[in-house]
Chains A and B, each alone.
Chain A
Amino acid sequence: MSFEQLVFYAFAAIAAFAGLMVITVRNPVKAALWLVLAFVSTAAVWILAEAEFLGLVLILVYVGAVLVLFLFVVMMLDINLAEMKEGFARYLPIGVLVSLVVFGLIYMVVGPEHFGLAQFKPVEHGPDYSNTKEIAVPLYTQHAYAFVLAAVLLLVGIVAAIALTLRRRPPSEALYQDIDAQVRVRAEDRLTMVKMPAEVEPDLPENKEEEEGAK
């Protein structure tokens, strides 16, 4: 077994196990963290297949941003675990049936006779091969319109999400901070320096006597 194979099987096993844990673990925060592990090990497998751009972007986008936001939401939920366990036995038969069908379908498509190192020899690339360039060139030439369209769709999604959650209440109901005005404030607007002569308190007579006594 070569080192590459060892690494592949290790990460593949971790990914499969983590995927299993995502759907079996009861605590949603833990499920999200298992999903993180699944993503990271999948990224490792991709990098092993010389798709380093996809692997690193998977970590950067999904692990570094999307799942953090996911966790953000899930952590704030108050989840009743007993309620979630309800109905497990009732839905078990149909769940098993569906999973068997899906497994059968996947087995038919990517079973051992259609898939594996024997059918797909790993493509050897020279040291100058850049996966990033390989993706970038068709993306910005052949598929430029589709790419721009996807970007516009995402933008619409962002606008929609903001429009749905934005709720500007009248100033009588809520106080808003105008940060721009706050930032523009200078010390001169808030603070007045007043020059005044120093006041010297005259010494009290008792103090004088004490001082003289000390002498």
Chain B
Amino acid sequence: MFATLQHWLSGWMWDWLAVLITLLIQAVVVILPIMIAVAYLTYAERKVIAYMQVRMGPNRVGPYGLLQPIADAVKLMFKEVVLPTQSNVYLFLIAPILAIAPAIAVWAVVPFAPGWVVTDIDAGVLYVLAIASITVYGVVVSGWASNSKYAFLGGLRSSAQKISYEIAMGFALVTVLMVADTMNLTKIVEGQQGGIWHWYLIPLLPMFVVYFISGVAETNRAPFDIAEGESEIVAGFHVEYSGMAFAVFFLAEYAMMILISYMTSIMFLGGWLSPFEGIPLLETLFAWVPPFFWLAAKVAFLLFVFLWFRATFPRYRYDQLMRLGWKVFIPLTIVWVFVVMLMHYFKVGPWFN
């Protein structure tokens, strides 16, 4: 569809302008639904946690409080962005951009259904890892530029945390690459075809756990949200931010949450493949369901788990968090890389075909 659009555009304007316009349209088509999903994820979070704590949650704006995220967005947009005295104004304002830009840029390679992907590149996994690793700058720069001790401590904490968990995350993905034999996200999903027992969840179960928990730590979510740590450092890196600048940090955090859920679904839960594949009766019964629905359902479940974690676990202490990352996850992932290597070498297991 976009190829024909670009072809038509290049018929009557410069080539590079045609490419640029097509890219812009593609970006909007991907970013807009994500932003809407982010808005309603905040609503879902408040509702889910409210029901877990026997409360009502937002229920005033619109039916069942459904317009609450829009009201929040409008409120935040009209609030003043306060610039702290003695802060580094340029960096202070660039920091939210540094947080959100990579969180959005990552979506360029994420496939939503067979063929529904902006760019189907070969190094998809690497791209996601690399771009997601840039998000740490938003936190670090905001912490330094705010000229506040609380923000600074939050920035330092989160930079150390993100780097630590990125290693475990990278190793967990290495095992996926070894099993899938490709870095292309579409091909990783296609490699899991043939029923629920072909999903990489089963041979790589410990890696699934490590990846998802590291993902929770990467996104600074509870119980690993020590970068915000209300009881210790007020709100951490975004303590000096107000209005839209604060909202942008929020958007980035939630967009990354959705991304981690997508990546986990694609890597370990068979992406858009139906869980009923290969089961005689159920397969034909659910054949009409569009592939995107399965992916969305898996992502929605993982997002629910994110919220569930937040309602269940108390916050980790910083040294315990570091211990979990360096002394539990990283050795575990290294061992599992060897296990997968041996399985590959001796051709163990039905999943390597």
Interface of A toward B, CB cutoff 8 Å:
1-3, 6, 29-30, 33, 36, 40, 52-53, 56-57, 59-60, 63-65, 68-69, 71-72, 75-76, 130-132, 177, 179, 182-183
Contact = CB atoms under 8 A, between A and B. Distances in A.
Contacts of B122: 52, 130-132
A72 B159 contact: yes
Q: Is the interface of A mostly helix, strand, loop or mixed?
A: helix
Contacts of A57: 126, 130
Interface in B128-179: 129-131, 133-134, 136-137, 140-141, 144, 152, 155-156, 159-160, 162-163, 166, 170
B121 interface: yes
Given A71-B140, A183-B320, A59 B166 contact: no
A6 B121 contact: no
B134 A64 contact: yes
B3 to A, nearest CB: 15
A71 B91 CA distance: 14
Contacts of B130: 56-57, 59-60, 63-64
Interface in B52-93: 91
Given A59-B133, A63-B134, A3 B15 contact: yes
B156 A75 contact: yes
B126 A56 contact: yes
B345 interface: no
Given A3-B16, A177-B319, A68 B123 contact: no
A53 B319 contact: no
Interface string B183-219: 1000000000000000000000000000000000000
B134 A30 contact: no
21 contacts: A2-B16, A3-B15, A3-B16, A3-B20, A33-B141, A52-B122, A52-B126, A53-B123, A56-B123, A56-B127, A57-B126, A59-B133, A64-B134, A64-B163, A65-B166, A68-B140, A69-B159, A69-B163, A72-B156, A132-B123, A182-B320
A183 B327 CA distance: 13
B126 A71 contact: no
B113 interface: no
Nearest to A66: B163
Given A53-B123, A68-B159, A75-B156, A33 B91 contact: yes
